[in-house]
Structure 1
Amino acid sequence: MMRDTDVPQWWAKLGLPGLIDIHTHFLPERMLQRVWAHFDEAGPLIGRPWPITYRADEASRLAQVRRLGLRHFTALTYAHRPGMAADLTNFALDLAAAEPDCVPSATFYPEEGVLDEVHSALERGARVFKIHAQVGGFDLREPVLDPVWGLLAESGVPVVVHVGSGPVPRPGFTGPDKLEGVLRRHPQLTAVVAHLGAPEYGEFLDLADRYPRVHLDTTMVFTDFFEAAAPFPPELLPRLASMPERIVLGSDFPNIPYPYAHQLEALERLRDKEPALDDEWLRAVCWSNGKRLLGV
């Protein structure tokens, strides 16, 4: 099994200067502790035991991503109720100002003033947004969000969207139809579907076929942990090979129940099932696509 200490050798063997991870989390300490408590309890939106591998203070977690060779990473936050998003965005942008390898990140929530908040975040340099429809309990198609989607489509700034029905579906809030409704109105939106859209992999790949700026991140997909609950259908692997420019590395660090190295190991072993998922594909996923999307 690949270990974290093996990761720098892994990306160096691919001829890369490091890794770019579009889906990592840094949160205010009090909120992070609440999130970890929810994972510890295998809460209703988690569905099963989910031990946190990188349970450490912020300085230790920053040191860890740098030891792994993440040259650029995100501080994805997400609000689960009104009145939170602005503070979370402030936290993420402040962290990026202090840590230049942390990509300026932001979030938003369907509430009064959301358009002004997103506009402000863009003016302050946000290069990626994150929303979590499953945790937030909202429909991406809510009218208050329509001008936000328009602004983000025009800006070209990517939005990492958790709208797949895993790990636990929330009827009315999750599913590919929610994102498709947004894309019909804003077809140029740069949406990055978290977790490859698990478990609706095929439906989200269909959206990537129809909309040229839809991407999908690899977060947790193909790992042993995810394969046990939401296995990726082998017959869909050629579709991943056919769109190497649309798949981007994500991990969910630090909230993962295994070493970071296992995500990379899981991606590498795909070539045993689909030879076209080769070193060139891995270089695009682990570096080039993230570099282009995040503008770094």
Structure 2
Amino acid sequence: MKLLSYRTSDGESWGALVDGEIVDLATANPGWASLAAALAAALADAGTDGIVRAVTARAGTAPRLALDSVTLLPVVPAPGKILCVGLNFEKHRIETGRERTEHPVIFTRFPDTFVGHGTPLVRPAESERFDFEGELALVIGRGGRRIARENALSHIAGVTCLNDGSIRDFQAHTHQFTPGKNFPATGSIGPWLVTLDDIGEIADLELVTRLNGVEVQRAPLSDLTYSIPEIVAYCSSWTQLRPGDVIATGTPGGIGARREPPLWMRPGDLCEVEVSGVGVLRNTITTEDVTP
């Protein structure tokens, strides 16, 4: 099942994509004001398929909208946590010249750094070194602390595509990634969340990034240095994961900063992140308007 968040002239809502149309589930279920709220309610006791059963039971009476009549938002518009795994593909670690670590490299992003599918990414006025990073992202459905690896998948509602757009010179100011990863509207996530029952084995999925139609990254998810269960277990060892939290699992090799010459995203470009079985996240690039 594909679940998404969106905006119309009436405000923000969420729903399911069924036969090419959006089933407006917030209108049909006033207690589920957001996708995160629905995940919390439906998955609390029912496991990762709880949301699918709940949505299916309610979809028949819900209003429907054309997909092209809405503005898609980040899958979870305001997650409590956005945790990002760095250097999690071996080729990417090697191209950066960094040593392999005993534990996953984790940094955070703020919710306002992400836009949805179809909304332009914004290159800030402070830099022209705007880089792409195609990734698979997890959305937590059932929260928990100290989650065992063998139970990790039961805490994941589904997966989506993510572009961890990075301002490379600011990222390199110190060994901490935070500044280069948190300019407003530099990343994107979507177009929708695909529940695990429609995915199969995550390791069988393939990730591809294209810039202006040219492939710049490709890797199977089986190449992750730290597996999905390892990532969930590690993150939950030091923080409480909650419904709607997002975990980005890392980007493959091929980033623009390590090319010769460097390949930056520029205004007018189109960047696409595709994950097989999930969909294609598309965003054009614009530049920040700093007119007083």
Q: TM-score with structure 1 length normalisation?
A: 0.25
Higher share of residues assigned strand: 2
Q: TM-score with structure 2 length normalisation?
A: 0.25
Higher share of residues assigned helix: 1
| Relative contact order, higher structure (CA 8 A, sep 6+) | 2
